[in-house]
């Protein structure tokens, strides 16, 4: 470092002089797209045409921008869910199950309670979705503090259980005397289609500036408000302080008299609630019913969004718009360039790797790290099984 | 992690109890299986619960879990957490499928051999990548594993072509003499190659891990890397090697799905088996023999689910029956954690001073 020749060389590398917080994520994205291009080349596709189609499909028209925002909406909420759990050192890969349970709860309220005015019905349906996700999220939290069962395995198992449970709720009924599920729509069931009834008009989240955008709904506003609330909880409230302390040093938190178990359960419940809300706004705002093909999230997007956004609420919003563009533009890319939209998932995995291991980006672009322990991706996850 | 609190005497008592319970369970299952096959009891509930059909299915369902759990053991005993088993398994399944589909013109045994080899190589590459990310680039190992799953899912879906066909599978072959044992010969000794391989690997690894120099090194770098380093063991080198081998093992679980069980590749066909393997690893207390027992239990949950659905004896909606393997995993995990002990230095980056 002290060597003058070294320093002169450093000055010539302009990258090293930039310390903007956006630099590392942007370089990670750039690299991910470059590697994605190589994979496309190897599989005989034209990456330039693909990326042009992607850009067009994401931002090329008002319709494309609408699609990006619409796709970004649930990502904001699942991203917040994962990011919030991260703060307490918990890894929530159960967002997809919580999303489904939230969806189911909100639809259950949305299709019933006829005659209720909109100012009661809509909030009730939203709250039901929040509660459904929160309950489903609280389970792995409870299992963790009660018996030390690691949330990575329990949340994944609960994803499968939720998926089966919701499939039962909407099941059209079978030929061998299998009863239809409680939420199944009798009209569709008569044709053998498993789906719920449409939610009542009083429980529908209205569109957001319908003359400008298409199919962008007030769920976007719900998501942005949720980001604000999460920011407030984490930064300004005592509970947020406790969450961060638990995440940074469990023993210190115990010593300081923080009720660690309670914090963990509540954190998982909030994370679950946020993911449940993602399913809720997607259903009440966009699909207006639940059918199996509407499973918007695998839960892994939330992890990418959370890490790309540095686990900060506003970072999550930004990275959700990016992911929304990626997934929203994918269809146009497939249509224009004939490249299968699944390549997006590959790019997503590369983004995840490069964001979580900034050291790789530093090596590629020869950036010196300022601090030795900068490479923890802003989070401290538990490293063991807690057994 | 705190230092182990169990005393030597306590540990051996737990070990003795475990051994006693295991043998008792084996005897009970064996007696019930014989009763189900030889007496009229087998026509009723006992036939569903312990018949030859369900026991054979148990073993088939257990094989990928065994490979997965062994993969986890290899990585975690040397101090690397491997959440990515699911991804390695899926990559292995895809690797096996592609080569199998493209070598369809070759004689079946050769084609199967090449496909298995391909799975091993793909899995080893995934394992190496995991080691590289967690050791060289100090990435959080849980996130690295997750990234591997997303990568394997994305790549296998992107590259998959439903027109590719894989023809032929590993056929069952009866081991002479042993397969003649009534009831059990048919269950245990009339299987495909990868099933035998899985069972053999359990005993090989159990022996190597606790009786060989490599095993001692592996356990040392997972428990106390600093001490191991002082003894002249190259901690990170062995972590690279074991994680790479672990990737290959997990991939064999995927190869089993394509080459011996299903015969085709389906997108996302591992369906959570990688994670159930992790639970089997924990339940088996990071021992290969324990993992075998745990995998068999989880395999049984899956077989029972299948049997209940087929027999139609219960009026419970099929969705709830299908939850059985996942619920069993949670119940077992909740019941067992705290009684087992993970390698002490797991998940921590080791840097020489």
Q: How far is CA B255 from CA A120, B246, B251, B296, B297, in A?
A: 54, 14, 6, 19, 21
Nearest to B326 among A161, A353, A386 (CB): A161
In our burial notation (b when 16+ CB lie closer than 10 A, e otherwise), range A183-211 reads: bbbeebbeeeebbbbbbbebbbbebbeee
- ∠ CA(B60), CA(B62), CA(B63), 5° rounding? 70
Residues B298-341: tens digit of each pLDDT: 999 999 999 888 887 777 888 999 999 999 999 998 887 666 77
**Structure confidence at residue A2 (pLDDT):** 47
Helix (H, G, I), strand (E, B) or coil at B14: helix
Tell me, yes or no, whether B19 lies in a domain.
Answer: no
Q: Measured between beta carbons, which residues in chain B are less than 8 angstroms from residue A182?
A: none
**Structure confidence at residue B3 (pLDDT):** 38
Q: Measured between beta carbons, which residues in chain B are less than 8 angstroms from residue A164?
A: 319-320, 322-323, 326
Q: How close, in Å, is residue A227 to chain B by CA atoms?
A: 23
Nearest to A149 among B317, B334, B347 (CB): B334
Q: Which residues contact A320 (CB under 8 A, 6 or more apart)?
A: A72, A73, A75, A76, A79, A223, A305, A309
Residues A32-91: tens digit of each pLDDT: 999 999 999 999 899 999 999 999 999 999 999 999 999 999 999 999 999 999 999 999
| CATH number (domain holding residue B301) | 1.10.3470
**Structure confidence at residue A177 (pLDDT):** 66
Domain boundaries, chain A: 73-309
**Structure confidence at residue B75 (pLDDT):** 96
Q: Which domain holds residue B317?
A: 54-336
Q: Which two tokens stand for residue A274?
A: 């946020």
Q: How many CB atoms lie within 10 A of CB A31?
A: 18
Q: Measured between beta carbons, which residues in chain A are less than 8 angstroms from residue B157?
A: 342, 345
Q: Measured between beta carbons, which residues in chain A are less than 8 angstroms from residue B142?
A: 91, 152, 381, 383
Does A232 lie at the interface with B, CB-CB under 8 angstroms? no
| Percent residues over pLDDT 90 in chain B | 60
Q: How many CB atoms lie within 10 A of CB A8?
A: 9
Q: How far is CA B104 from CA A167, A171, B98, B168, B251, in A?
A: 38, 40, 10, 9, 21
Report whether B94 contacts B156 (CB < 8 A).
yes
**Structure confidence at residue A98 (pLDDT):** 96
Does A35 lie at the interface with B, CB-CB under 8 angstroms? no
Q: Measured between beta carbons, which residues in chain A are less than 8 angstroms from residue B275?
A: 152-153, 156-157
Report the C-alpha gap between B342 and B206 in whole angstroms: 17
Q: Between chains, do B334 and A164 touch, taking CB under 8 Å as contact?
A: no
Nearest to B158 among A93, A161, A340 (CB): A340
Closest chain A residue by Cα to residue B87? A349
Does B331 lie at the interface with A, CB-CB under 8 angstroms? no
**Structure confidence at residue A385 (pLDDT):** 62
Asked if pLDDT for residue B94 goes beyond 60, the answer is yes
Instruction: Tell which of B330, B332, B339, B341 to mutate to test the A interface (max A CBs under 10 Å).
Output: B330
Tell me, yes or no, whether B7 lies in a domain.
Answer: no
Full DSSP string of A210-266: TTTSSS-BTHHHHHHHHHHHHHHHHHHSHHHHHHHHHHH-HHHHHHTT--HHHHHHH
**Which B residues, 193 through 222, put their C-beta within 8 Å of a C-beta on chain A?**
none
Of B141, B166, B78, whose CA–CA distance to B342 is shortest? B78
Tell me, yes or no, whether B64 lies in a domain.
Answer: yes
Q: Between chains, do B140 and A356 touch, taking CB under 8 Å as contact?
A: yes
**Structure confidence at residue B62 (pLDDT):** 97
Report the C-alpha gap between A161 and A139 in whole angstroms: 12
Q: Which two tokens stand for residue B160?
A: 């998959």
One pLDDT digit (tens) per residue for chain A, 387 residues: 445 555 555 554 554 444 566 788 889 999 999 999 999 999 989 999 999 999 999 999 999 999 999 999 999 999 999 999 999 999 999 999 999 999 999 999 999 998 899 999 999 999 999 999 999 999 999 999 988 888 989 999 999 999 999 999 999 887 666 788 899 988 888 888 889 999 999 999 999 888 888 889 999 999 999 999 999 999 999 999 999 999 988 889 999 899 999 999 999 999 999 999 999 999 999 999 998 877 656 678 899 999 989 889 999 999 999 999 999 999 889 998 989 888 998 999 999 999 888 889 888 888 776 554 444 444 456 556 643
Mean pLDDT value of segment B175-190: 85
Compute the count of residue pairs across chains A and B with CB atoms less than 8 Å apart: 167
Instruction: Tell which of B146, B222, B279, B287 to mutate to test the A interface (max A CBs under 10 Å).
Output: B146
- Beta bridge partner(s), residue B295: none
Q: How many helices (H) and strands (E) does chain A have?
A: 17, 0
Q: Which two tokens stand for residue B291?
A: 């993992």
Does A178 lie at the interface with B, CB-CB under 8 angstroms? yes
Full DSSP string of A128-140: HHHHHHHHHHHHH
Mean pLDDT value of segment B194-205: 97
Mean pLDDT value of segment B216-244: 93
**Structure confidence at residue A374 (pLDDT):** 45
ipTM of this complex prediction, to 2 decimal places: 0.88
Helix (H, G, I), strand (E, B) or coil at B340: strand
Helix (H, G, I), strand (E, B) or coil at A181: coil
**Which B residues, 156 through 195, put their C-beta within 8 Å of a C-beta on chain A?**
157-159
**Which B residues, 271 through 310, put their C-beta within 8 Å of a C-beta on chain A?**
271-272, 275-276, 278-279, 282
Counting the structural domains of chain B, the total is 1
Does B150 lie at the interface with A, CB-CB under 8 angstroms? yes
- ∠ CA(B274), CA(B278), CA(B284), 5° rounding? 135
Q: Measured between beta carbons, which residues in chain A are less than 8 angstroms from residue B322?
A: 164
Does B329 lie at the interface with A, CB-CB under 8 angstroms? yes
**Structure confidence at residue A372 (pLDDT):** 44
Q: Between chains, do A348 and B347 touch, taking CB under 8 Å as contact?
A: no
Tell me, yes or no, whether B69 lies in a domain.
Answer: yes
**Structure confidence at residue B214 (pLDDT):** 94
Asked which of A357-371, B165-179, B240-254 is least confident by mean pLDDT, the reply is A357-371
Whole-model pTM: value is 0.90
**Structure confidence at residue B338 (pLDDT):** 63
Tell me, yes or no, whether B70 lies in a domain.
Answer: yes
**Which A residues, 117 through 146, put their C-beta within 8 Å of a C-beta on chain B?**
143, 146
Q: Between chains, do B342 and A384 touch, taking CB under 8 Å as contact?
A: yes
Asked if pLDDT for residue B151 goes beyond 90, the answer is yes
Q: How many helices (H) and strands (E) does chain B have?
A: 15, 2
Instruction: Tell which of A96, A153, A194 to mutate to test the B interface (max B CBs under 10 Å).
Output: A153
Exposed (0-12), middle (13-18) or buried (19+): which is A94, by Cβ within 10 Å? Answer: buried
Q: Between chains, do A150 and B312 touch, taking CB under 8 Å as contact?
A: no
Q: How close, in Å, is residue A27 to chain B by CA atoms?
A: 16
Q: Which two tokens stand for residue A66?
A: 């609408």
Q: Measured between beta carbons, which residues in chain A are less than 8 angstroms from residue B279?
A: 153
Nearest to B139 among A157, A179, A357 (CB): A357
Q: Between chains, do A152 and B139 touch, taking CB under 8 Å as contact?
A: no
**Which B residues, 59 through 98, put their C-beta within 8 Å of a C-beta on chain A?**
81, 83
**Structure confidence at residue A356 (pLDDT):** 87
């Amino acid at each position: 470092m002290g060597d003058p020749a070294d320093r002169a060389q450093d000055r010539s590398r302009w990258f090293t002089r930039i310390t903007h917080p956006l630099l590392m994520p942007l370089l990670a994205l750039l690299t991910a797209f470059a590697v994605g291009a190589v994979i496309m080349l190897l599989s005989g596709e034209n990456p330039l045409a693909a990326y042009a189609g992607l850009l067009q499909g994401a931002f090329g028209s008002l319709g494309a921008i609408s699609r990006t925002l619409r796709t970004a909406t649930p990502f904001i909420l699942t991203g917040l869910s994962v990011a919030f759990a991260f703060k307490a050192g918990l890894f929530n890969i159960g967002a997809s199950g919580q999303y489904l349970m939230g969806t189911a709860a909100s639809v259950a309220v949305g299709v019933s309670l006829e005659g209720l005015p909109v100012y009661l019905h809509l909030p009730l349906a939203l709250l039901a979705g929040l509660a459904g996700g929160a309950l489903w999220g609280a389970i792995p939290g409870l299992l963790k503090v009660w018996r030390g069962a690691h949330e990575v395995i329990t949340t994944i198992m609960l994803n499968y259980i939720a998926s089966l449970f919701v499939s039962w709720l909407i099941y059209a009924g079978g030929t061998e005397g299998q009863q239809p599920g409680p939420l199944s729509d009798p009209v569709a069931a008569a044709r053998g289609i498993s789906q719920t009834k449409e939610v009542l008009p009083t429980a529908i989240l209205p569109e957001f500036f319908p003359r400008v955008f298409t199919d962008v709904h007030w769920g976007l506003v719900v998501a942005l408000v949720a980001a604000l609330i999460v920011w407030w909880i984490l930064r300004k409230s005592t509970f947020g302080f406790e969450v961060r302390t638990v995440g940074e040093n469990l023993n210190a938190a115990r010593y300081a008299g923080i009720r660690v178990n309670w914090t963990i359960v509540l954190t998982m419940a909030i994370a679950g609630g946020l993911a449940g809300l993602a399913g809720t706004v997607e259903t009440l705002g966009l699909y207006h019913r639940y059918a199996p093909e509407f499973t918007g999230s695998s839960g892994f997007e939330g992890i990418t969004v959370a890490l790309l956004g540095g686990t900060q609420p506003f970072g999550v919003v930004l990275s959700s718009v990016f992911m929304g563009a990626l997934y929203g533009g994918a269809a146009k890319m497939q249509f224009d360039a004939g490249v299968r939209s699944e390549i997006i998932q590959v790019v997503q995995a590369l983004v995840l790797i490069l964001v979580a291991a900034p050291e790789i980006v530093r090596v590629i672009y020869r950036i010196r790290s300022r601090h030795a322990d900068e490479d923890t991706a802003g989070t401290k996850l538990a490293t063991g099984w807690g057994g | 992690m705190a230092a182990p609190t169990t005393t030597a005497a306590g540990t051996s008592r737990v070990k003795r109890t475990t051994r006693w319970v295991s043998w008792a369970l084996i005897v009970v299952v064996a007696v019930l299986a014989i009763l189900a096959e030889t007496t009229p009891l087998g026509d009723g509930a006992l036939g569903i619960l312990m018949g030859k059909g369900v026991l054979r299915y148990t073993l088939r369902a257990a094989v990928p879990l065994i490979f997965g759990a062994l993969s986890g053991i290899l990585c975690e005993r040397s101090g690397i957490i491997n959440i990515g088993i699911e991804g390695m398994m899926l990559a292995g399944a895809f690797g096996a499928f592609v080569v199998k589909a493209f070598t369809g013109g070759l004689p079946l045994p050769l084609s199967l051999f090449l496909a298995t080899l391909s799975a091993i190589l793909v899995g080893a590459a995934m394992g190496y990548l995991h080691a590289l990310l967690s050791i060289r680039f100090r990435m959080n190992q849980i996130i690295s594993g997750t990234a591997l799953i997303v990568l394997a899912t994305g790549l296998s879906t992107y590259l998959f072509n439903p027109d590719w066909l894989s023809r032929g599978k590993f056929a069952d072959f009866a081991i002479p003499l042993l397969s003649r044992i009534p009831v059990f010969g048919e269950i245990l000794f009339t299987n495909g190659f990868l099933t035998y391989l899985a069972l053999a690997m359990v005993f090989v690894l159990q022996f190597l891990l606790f009786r060989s120099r490599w095993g001692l090194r592996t356990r040392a770098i997972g428990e106390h890397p600093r001490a191991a380093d002082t003894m002249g063991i190259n901690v990170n080198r062995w972590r690279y090697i074991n994680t790479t081998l672990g990737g290959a093992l997990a991939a064999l679980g995927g190869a089993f799905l394509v080459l011996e069980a299903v015969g085709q590749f389906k997108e996302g066909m591992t369906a959570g088996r990688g994670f159930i393997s992790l639970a089997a690893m924990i339940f088996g207390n990071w021992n290969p023999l324990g993992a075998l027992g745990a995998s068999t239990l989880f395999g049984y949950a899956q077989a029972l689910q299948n049997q209940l659905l087929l027999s139609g004896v219960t009026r419970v909606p099929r969705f709830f029956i299908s939850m059985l393997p996942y619920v069993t995993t949670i119940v077992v995990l909740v019941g067992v954690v705290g009684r087992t002990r993970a390698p002490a230095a797991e998940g921590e980056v080791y840097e020489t001073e």
